[in-house]
Every structure is written in C-alpha cells, then in structure tokens.
Amino acid sequence: MDYDIVIRGGSVADGSGAEPFAADVGISAGRIVVVGHVAGSGAEEIDARGKLVTPGFVDVHTHYDGQATWEHTLAPSSNHGVTTVVMGNCGVGFAPCRPDHHEMVIKLMEGVEDIPDVVMSTGVPWGWESFPEYLDVLGSRSYDIDIAPQLPHSPLRVYVMGERGANLEPPTEADLAKMRQLTAEAVRAGALGVTTSRNLSHRFRTGELAPSVSTEEQELMALADGLRDAGGGVFQMIPNTDLDQVEEVKLMRRLVQRSGRPLSFSLFQMPHKPGVWRDVLAEMQVANDAGQQIRGQVYPRPTGMLLGLDLSLNPFSLNPSYKALADLPLAEKVARLRDPELRARLLAEEPSDPHPFFLSVVRQTDNLYPLGDPPNYSPSLQDSIAARAKRAGQDPRELIYDTLLMRDGSEILYCPLGNCEGGKFDSAGALMKANNTILGLGDGGAHYGMICDASFPTYMLTQWTRDAAPGQGFSIGAAVRALSSAPAQAVGLCDRGMIRAGYKADVNVIDLARLHLHAPSTKRDLPAGGRRLSQKADGYDATIVAGAVTYRNGSATGALPGRLVRGAQQVAA
C-alpha cells in the first residue's frame, strides 16, 4: 500500500483558521504526507465524505499527572478529540518528591484538585524521586494520547526546603539557587515548562495554603532564571484573584522579561470584579506589543462546579448530620434523605469545613441550576432553583433538597461561578475573541467529583460553531484553530495542530451534524473503586494519534500510540 491511512473526500479544516476545503489526507509512518488529491491507496481507507476533518485538539491545562502513572486511557479528554494534553498545571503534581513527602503531596492534590486520597495512595506507583526520573517512568508507558508534563512549583519547593517549604517559610539564597538549578534540569530533561499558583483557593483539604501560594517574587524569579538557564520551556501561573489583576499581569511581565520565555495564566470573568478582565486584556496587549508573550488561558463556557448526592459536594454535604451518610451507596443515601426528620435537621443546619473554597461552593444556594440531559450550560436566570422557589413562595433550600433526590438521586446541579458577567452565560465569547487568549482549562485528570470540563472541544464545535446564532459564534475554521494550532504553538508544540505535510498525524474525522454532548455521569473505575465523572459525545467517527486509529464512533480501538512528549517540538522535515 502507498499509505498507512487515507482519509477520503472530507471537508478539511486544517488548523490555520482558513475555512474547510475538500481534500484527501494521506498518512504514513505517523506523519501527514499528502493533503489534496491522493492517487494511491491506503492500508486503511476512511470515507470522510460529508464529514469534517480536523487536526487533533490540544488542551494546555490538565492534571493527568497521577492518572498517567496508573492508566493508559486518558479520559475524558480522549473522548472529545483531544490528542495532546499538557499536565502539571497550577503548581501541583507528583515530582520531584522524596519518599517521606508522598503523603503530603497526596494531601495537596486532594485539596487542590479533588482527587481522593485513597485513589492516589492505591494508584500512584512512586517509582521516582527527581523530576527527570518521573519523566523516565512516563516515558516507559503508552497512552491513547500524547502527554507533555510541566514541573510544578509546590512539590519542588518542598523537595528543596522540606517542612520549611510546606510551612510557607521564606527560602534562603541556597534554596533559591537549588530551585533554579532543578527547574533548568527538569526542562533540559523534557519538562515543557514550570508552573505555579498564587490562588488562595488552592489549599490542602485541611485548609492550609498550598506551598506555592504565598511565595514572594524572588522565588518566582528563581523559576524564571531556571527557564532562562535551560534556554527553553514555558511558564504557567494561576494568579491571585484577590489582588489587583493588572498588577498581577505586571508581575507576569517581569517574569517573562527575566526568563525570556512565554507565559500563560488562567483568565476568567470574575463575578466579584466585574469588568476587570478588560483591564487585564489591555495590559496583556501592552506586554505583547513589547515582545513579551503572555497568553490568557480561557474557557468557552461558564466556569463552575457540579454538585450532587453522588459527587464530592452538594449544598448539604458539609452539614454535621450529613457526615454519617457521605460514604453510603447512592440508593441507601437517597432512602435516608427521604426521612422527614433527617430532612428537617439538614435544612436547619449550617455547613462547617476548614477549606474556605468548599464552604463558599456549598453556600451558593442562589446560583444553582438543574444541569439536565442534554446538559444546559447556558440557562436563563429564571431557570435557577432560587428563582423557581421565589415564584412558588418556597424556601430555596427545600427545593434544592427535593431536586437532589430527583432521578433516584442522580440529578446534577450546575453552579456557574465565572464567565457569566451580568447574568450572560455566553459572555465567555468576549474572552475567546480577544487578542492574546487561547482555549484550555479542561482540567482532565482532576476534580473527579466536581468538574467535567474536558468536554469543551465538543461544546465549542456545537454551541459556539454549528448551533450559534448568526454573527454570535465562530466559523468552523476559527473554532478548529482555537482548539488545535493556537494552543499547540503557544506552548511550543509546533509539530502538531495542523493538517499539512510534515505534521504529526493527529487527526479527527467528525460528523458535525451528529455531534452531541451527553450529560456527565458518575462511574467507579478509579483505583480503590474511586468515583469520577465521565462525559461522552456522539459524532467523533474516528480519532487518529500518530497515524493510528484510537477511537471509532466513540469507542476505543485499544491502540495506544500516545507517548511522553519531551519539551518543545518542531515540524519534521
């Protein structure tokens, strides 16, 4: 045969932003070799007539750091056309880590990323100490998609400083020099970059701040110096949203100037600071005009939490009387909650927890919506449980309680917390259309019982493209570029994200007319029977990674061509 795979007659959106064009795609030896008319034959021929052919999608913000050590299938990202994930974000991860700090790192991931302790204690094999050793372990494994790890600040700080690092003590000059050295070492070994978090919601489950959160600028500069020494890598940051956001961008500018490397950060429209995002975008434009590459990672729908009886949190889960129910099977939990006496007690109680962010979530009783199936991420304000209760003259907490018991306790409540300024649930569009922003923030591999945002490519292609009102959404070409080449190039993965000769053969064949996002559901297939949210989609006819078909019609083929990506990548000759 002339080719390994030939995709015939599809409508190719090549990732450049141009509108789709009719073409065949020929693939050999894991690379795209022909785009146009393919005269030869393929060992496998895929009929793509009437279908959309796109590059594989790239999510630059995930947390598969633990999952990649015990699983080969990196769902839910791989269920939505994603073929490369960047992990190690938010300054948290599992390396470097000394043996006597394993429990501390697990507790940190439990508090920041909602991964149950027992899942990590059972699943993570701990066959490393240094970050290069961690990369070697990942490099010995195969996956359904590619993974690109970053060096996380919090475990690095504790690795260098020990208990002083966990206790938020200031570093010595020797500590800073060691962090700088290890950052450079990690990037030279293949880390895509270094990450940190300044966000006050990032805490241990017991409420103490993550080690990176309160560090001073000199320590961040040590990480920047490490990137400069290595001559590569990117910097990723979660800013402190309680501080002046323009000043936070100015800090990022100083880091970019020091390192000479690109930086990206999580950018939201925050309800407690309306309009500030415009000032942030303006300062970012000043930075980029000065040659300082700063990108805002944005999400294409409201950011928020999912609450339910079979999830990590619900509006009553931190009440004293709920604790005896927390670990019961769902059916038994529902039966107990139908007891009028317990209902009255829970409705009268107040939540209590050492983690302030979790407390703030369960207290969001005025901002809850039934998610439904298909899921509605852009509800009307009048559809909120609080609005419905007001119309009925009912206490909203009573209606919340009753709603949680619907569908035998499997009902999911949606709590949007950002990107919905002024009650407009489509306001994320302004962020996506702004200069210097990239799509991301799928958070796959984390928040197993609170968030299922790795489905955003399917949402982007349906709500913002196929189903968008005229003039309100994105063209197919622009949407595909935002999902593929734009994020790939922002982090230096320049060998993918395009359907052109020489590029890595990561490709999706999508039946856009049939593309459909299902509601999230829970399953218990993590180590130790741990629970996680899963979200499926219809319409992905085929997903190809490195020239091998990994999914057909949404079902895994068993092929595992995905590998560890070590550092920045360029297009093959």
Q: Is the pLDDT of residue 424 over 90?
A: no
Instruction: Give me the pLDDT at residue 322, please.
Output: 97
- Res. 37 pLDDT band, cuts 50 70 90: very high
Mean pLDDT, the chain, as a whole number? 96
512-551 tens-digit pLDDT: 999 999 999 999 999 999 999 999 999 999 999 999 999 9
Q: Give the number of C-alpha atoms closer than 13 A to the C-alpha of residue 344, restricted to the C-beta side.
A: 3
Q: Is the pLDDT of residue 318 over 70?
A: yes
Stronger pLDDT, 422 or 164, i.e. the higher one: 164
Q: Is the pLDDT of residue 229 over 70?
A: yes
User: Which listed CATH number (3.40.50.300, 2.30.40.10, 1.10.150.530, 2.60.40.10) goes with 3-57+504-556?
Assistant: 2.30.40.10
Whether domain 62-302+421-490 has CATH 3.30.950.10: the reply is no
At residue 378's C-alpha, the angle toward residues 375 and 380, to 5°, is 115
The answer to whether 429 and 472 are in contact (CB under 8 A) is: yes
Same fold, 3-57+504-556 and 62-302+421-490: no
Q: Is the pLDDT of residue 273 over 90?
A: no
Q: Classify residue 144 as left (phi > 0), alpha (psi -120 to 50) or beta.
A: alpha
The answer to whether 151 and 183 are in contact (CB under 8 A) is: yes
170-196 tens-digit pLDDT: 999 999 999 999 999 999 999 999 999
Token pair belonging to 552:
């057909």
Question: Which residue has 């709920």 as its token pair?
Answer: 322
What integer is the mean pLDDT of 393-397? 95
Q: Is the pLDDT of residue 353 over 70?
A: yes
- Res. 445 pLDDT band, cuts 50 70 90: very high
Closest-CA residue to 95 (of 125, 122, 140, 59): 125
Token pair belonging to 230:
């290595």
Q: Structural domain boundaries of the chain?
A: 3-57+504-556, 62-302+421-490, 310-417
Q: What are phi and psi of 112, to 5 degrees?
A: -85, -40
Give one DSSP letter per residue of 302-326, joined into a string: -EEEEE-TTSS--TTTTSGGGTTTT
- CA separation for the pair 23, 189 (Å, rounded): 39
Q: Classify residue 371 as left (phi > 0), alpha (psi -120 to 50) or beta.
A: alpha
Give one DSSP letter per residue of 349-413, joined into a string: -----S-HHHHHHHT-TTS-EE-TTTT-SS--GGGSHHHHHHHHT--HHHHHHHHHTHHHHT--E
- CA separation for the pair 492, 60 (Å, rounded): 11
Instruction: Give me the pLDDT at residue 1, please.
Output: 84
Count CB-CB contacts under 10 A for residue 218: 11
- CA separation for the pair 460, 466 (Å, rounded): 9
Q: Is the pLDDT of residue 572 over 80?
A: no
The answer to whether 309 and 404 are in contact (CB under 8 A) is: yes
Q: Is the pLDDT of residue 422 over 90?
A: no
Crossing angle for the helix pair 330-337 and 340-348, nearest 10 degrees?
80
Q: Is the pLDDT of residue 425 over 90?
A: no
- Res. 573 pLDDT band, cuts 50 70 90: low
What is the number of helices (H) and of strands (E) in the chain? 20, 25
Q: Is the pLDDT of residue 12 over 90?
A: yes
Closest-CA residue to 261 (of 354, 194, 314): 194
